Structure 1
Amino acid sequence: MNPLNLEHSWKLLCAKVFGPEYDHPPELEEIGKQIAEKCQGLPLTISVIAGHLSKVARTLESLMDVSRTMGEIIASHPDKFLGVLGLSYRNLPNHLKPFFLSIGSFPEDYPVETWRLIQLWIAEGFIRRPESDKSLEKVEENYLEDLISRNLIIVNKRRFSSQIKVCGMHYLLHEFYLTEVEMTKFMHVERNDVVLTLSTQKYNGRRFSFQINSYSDDRRFKLLPSVARSIYLFSKTHKFVRPEVFSRFHLLRVLTIFDVNESFLSILPVITKLFHLRYLQVRSLAKLPTSISELQNLQTLMYERSYNHATLPEKSWVNFPIDMSSLTKLEALKCVSNAFLSWTPPISIKESFFPASLKRLTFAGWFGFPWEDISTLVKLPNLEELKLKDHAAIGYVWRLRDDDIFESLKLLLFQKVLFTNWVASSDNLPSLKDLVLKKCDNLKEIPIDFREICTLESIELHNCSPFAEDSARKIEKE
């Protein structure tokens, strides 16, 4: 059963609270729809909330109070709600249970990018070998779709190709999750509203997620077992754990540090001694040390260097193939630069070698590519999505020649790109389905010949020039 949309959620809520005639005071409709929307399409949730609403005064103040405390209301009805969820979970095939439980390592309502989730699943070792000749990524994409079809994971955002881009756990499932992971010892989760439970005895688990405001107290990390395999840290404060605490976790495979305002000065040399590390996400003021090359089991590296460029040291290329064309299974690549225009000279991609397998390519930030370099990307036969954001390309004219043909390109997105003239024909983009322009203030016109692209389904403009808007309407009309 698919989740209900807002209209049907509101009708169900009305029927249970006000009767089949939906006879409700008009002033309650707006807040009522907000409550229905928060139920995220689950009839069971609507039923529980409706039962509660039927026992309170039907005033605006009462409904606003219910909207604020829905999580507490659901948690207070374990027999009606958590019991049914437990049945859904227990009916899962055994191989899917760890995939579902791992979602809870992220805080409640946290939007999880699917590519990140899949790489974490691989690093956790939930699948050791593919079931067929499919890649691990493809197998785990199928598992994710399975969990979604069971309404245990919700989709927050999809790509234009309908692939899942962002997902998460229904926030009302979180209470059940916390109970289940502690009971099965799958993971220990510590939240802001939970009193420290590690103060009296050591915890014997392997996975830990700390979703608390401050890590200035290292006591909790000293009580973790040295055999810990995964540590997830979430914080939005300036006080953070000292890097030395990680040095004793010799078997650590996953270390993710999210939402950190305070950067590390010395964490990197400590972390590069963790030989078994497969997934690392960290932010630091320091450069990547040459010892990063010693992490021979590392599969995913997300490194942000505050206030400056992040570069890989020369020695690290001994372990990572420098010619990208050799990465024959690479399908998505996103390059982000935080440099200011005056800091860095333009970069050329003419001599870069991207693999033919590449399907999605994004450049965001100051790279300074001339438009002629962007045209060379036609050599990528499988490229379906190309996104240029925040001055990734420089120059006022993008002129595509007759032989510049993006055979497979379906999505083309420009955001804050400063070009004024775009010279192209329908032959240059024969497979284009979606064209998205955001804050392209200077663009005078979308090539009118795009009306001849038979695959074109939509043109989106956000805060663009009125001239670009006029040309889009002409294309739509013709």
Structure 2
Amino acid sequence: MVLKRRADSQIKTCRIHDTLHEFCKTEAARQNLFREIMDGAKWGEVIIDKNTHRLCVNSSIMEFLKSGGKSSGDHVRSFLSSCSKEVEIPNECLQVIPKSFPLLRVMDVENLKFKVLPKQFYDLFHLRFVAVSTELKILPKSFSKFHNMQTLVFNTTQNSLDVKAEIWSMRKLRHVHTNTSMQLPLPPNTSKNNNNNSSSLGSTEIKTLSTISPSSCTSEILDMTPDLQKLGIRGNLVELMENKGGICLFDNIKKLDRLENLKLIHDALQGNKLRSFPEAGKFPRRLRKMTLSNTAFDWMDFNILALLYELEVLKLEENAFRGDICHVRNDAVFRQLQYLRIQRVDIVSWTASKDSFPVLKYLFLRNCTQLDAVPPAFGHIDSLILMELYCTNDSATQSALEIHRQRSATSAGLPIFQLSIYPPYRQDVVSNH
């Protein structure tokens, strides 16, 4: 059963019925495909069969760590922790997991918080996938030892992450995720005076970098990632978009010919305001998804986005645009846009024609508390199948209900249209407004 869908309507996660789930776990254990250690297990009595290669521990993880890893084995290749909430690991227990399972390839312990990573962790040379949470402000150089690493998820409590690891020499690395802003190192054998921006190592095959600092968007660094498909940039975006000495770092993003997903998050400080939205020609031509957060562009610049002809998904998060009025020009046509989400902006008046969004399927308006109405034109967009209003006001709610009535009256031959309103619509409150 589909549980979540991506913004482009593709399936993101699925679930199965509880009974079927229990059956699958039993069969997986019987066939030594997968072993789950349940709550209340006494680790001193747990025996892990030598044929067990994948091990999952839920909330009994602390019992395992305190046991000193008595139930361990060289045969375990994947270790996963599925605790429902974050667990802080005591210093005396830090080395238990890498010491107990020295041949791990997958270590998914994102819900466990390590203050530091034990030295035994860096002996897990076979690691391909790592998801870990720490209090570190640097990605240690020792990560360079993981030559088999393909996916790295590194969360930290710090405001930024200084990457000391030589990630350009990790030839199998494909995806790098973090919850903060990474400061990437310059590739070796490059300098500002070097006409050849590429490293002597050659380019990498990294496909995801999320998120990196604006200062990491240099030509030397982005020349190393020609296969990049997903990029997140977080920090003072003035540093990214303003010209300094005739150089604008944002110009380097256009060379990412395969980039499909771009996220821009502005950590605004007082006085660090973005002047204007970049010209459409500065964006990669294959861009399909874009997310803007806290950028506070003027709504007049919203029309520039229509010139990104491949754009299918647009997420305008908190304070992405500012101002009372958003007027979508008649000549601004979002040719491929199917998903539009606007949340936590101060917009009051919004005008648009149906021709501006010819293939739109999903419209989400969240926490737009000052919006006076949803443009009536959305009632004439035949492709629209879902409109969601979350924590808007009564006036916007009434306009959405009118669109729903209009679509219901002319629904012959059109896709089913759904309207979702939260909090639930109350006729007495709206009519008395």
Alignment TM-score, normalising by the size of structure 1: 0.55
Query: Which residue matches 2:34?
Result: 187
> What's the offset of the Cα at 1:164?
2.2
Q: By percentage of residues, which structure has more helix?
A: 1
Gap runs ≥5 in structure 2: 161-179, 188-202, 207-220, 231-257, 407-433
Query: Which residue matches 1:132?
Result: none
Structure 2 counterparts to residues 365-444 of structure 1, below 5 A:
366-368=294-296, 371=299, 375-444=303-372
Query: Which residue matches 2:415?
Result: none
Counterpart of 1:256, as a letter, is D
CA distance in 2, matches of 1:358, 1:169: 34
Structure 2 counterparts to residues 73-472 of structure 1, below 5 A:
154-158=1-5, 163-196=10-43, 203-215=50-62, 217-218=64-65, 219=67, 221=69, 223-235=71-83, 236=85, 238-240=87-89, 242-248=93-99, 251-260=103-112, 263-267=113-117, 271=121, 274-289=124-139, 291=141, 292=143, 295-306=146-157, 308-309=159-160, 310-315=180-185, 319=204, 320=206, 322=222, 326-327=227-228, 333=261, 335=263, 345=272, 350=278, 355-363=284-292, 366-368=294-296, 371=299, 375-472=303-400
> Is the alpha carbon distance of 1:456 and 1:189 closer, same or farther for their aligned partners in structure 2, counting shifts above 3 Å?
closer
> Is the alpha carbon distance of 1:437 and 1:198 closer, same or farther for their aligned partners in structure 2, counting shifts above 3 Å?
same
Counterpart of 2:106, as a letter, is V
> What's the offset of the Cα at 1:451?
4.1
What is the aligned residue count? 321
Counterpart of 2:390, as a letter, is H
Aligned 8 A contact 2:159 2:181 in 1: no
> What's the offset of the Cα at 1:437?
1.1
Aligned 8 A contact 1:202 1:224 in 2: no
* 1:156-196 deviations in Å (ceiling 9; x for gaps): 23457653233123222343233322222212211104333
> What's the offset of the Cα at 1:239?
4.5
> Is the alpha carbon distance of 1:246 and 1:316 closer, same or farther for their aligned partners in structure 2, counting shifts above 3 Å?
farther
Q: By percentage of residues, which structure has more strand?
A: 2
Counterpart of 1:322, as a letter, is L
Aligned 8 A contact 1:382 1:408 in 2: yes
> What's the offset of the Cα at 1:429?
1.5
CA distance in 1, matches of 2:68, 2:41: 13
> Is the alpha carbon distance of 1:205 and 1:459 closer, same or farther for their aligned partners in structure 2, counting shifts above 3 Å?
closer
* 1:394-433 deviations in Å (ceiling 9; x for gaps): 4444343455322111121222233223343333222112
Which stretch has the larger CA shift, 407-416 or 158-167?
158-167
> Is the alpha carbon distance of 1:313 and 1:296 closer, same or farther for their aligned partners in structure 2, counting shifts above 3 Å?
farther
Aligned 8 A contact 1:293 1:315 in 2: no
Aligned 8 A contact 1:202 1:223 in 2: no
CA distance in 2, matches of 1:258, 1:210: 13
Which stretch has the larger CA shift, 232-241 or 276-285?
232-241
CA distance in 2, matches of 1:351, 1:307: 33
> Is the alpha carbon distance of 1:266 and 1:403 closer, same or farther for their aligned partners in structure 2, counting shifts above 3 Å?
farther
CA distance in 1, matches of 2:352, 2:370: 17
Aligned 8 A contact 2:372 2:396 in 1: yes
Aligned-pair identity in percent equals 28
> What's the offset of the Cα at 1:223?
3.9
> Is the alpha carbon distance of 1:223 and 1:349 closer, same or farther for their aligned partners in structure 2, counting shifts above 3 Å?
farther
> Is the alpha carbon distance of 1:295 and 1:463 closer, same or farther for their aligned partners in structure 2, counting shifts above 3 Å?
same
Counterpart of 1:460, as a letter, is E
Aligned 8 A contact 2:95 2:118 in 1: no
Which stretch has the larger CA shift, 327-336 or 378-387?
327-336
Tell me how large the CA RMSD over aligned residues is.
4.0
Aligned 8 A contact 2:8 2:312 in 1: no
Gap runs ≥5 in structure 1: 1-153
CA distance in 2, matches of 1:195, 1:338: 48
CA distance in 2, matches of 1:313, 1:407: 36
Counterpart of 1:466, as a letter, is D
Aligned 8 A contact 1:404 1:428 in 2: yes
Aligned 8 A contact 1:407 1:429 in 2: yes
> Is the alpha carbon distance of 1:368 and 1:382 closer, same or farther for their aligned partners in structure 2, counting shifts above 3 Å?
same
Counterpart of 2:53, as a letter, is R
> Is the alpha carbon distance of 1:157 and 1:217 closer, same or farther for their aligned partners in structure 2, counting shifts above 3 Å?
closer
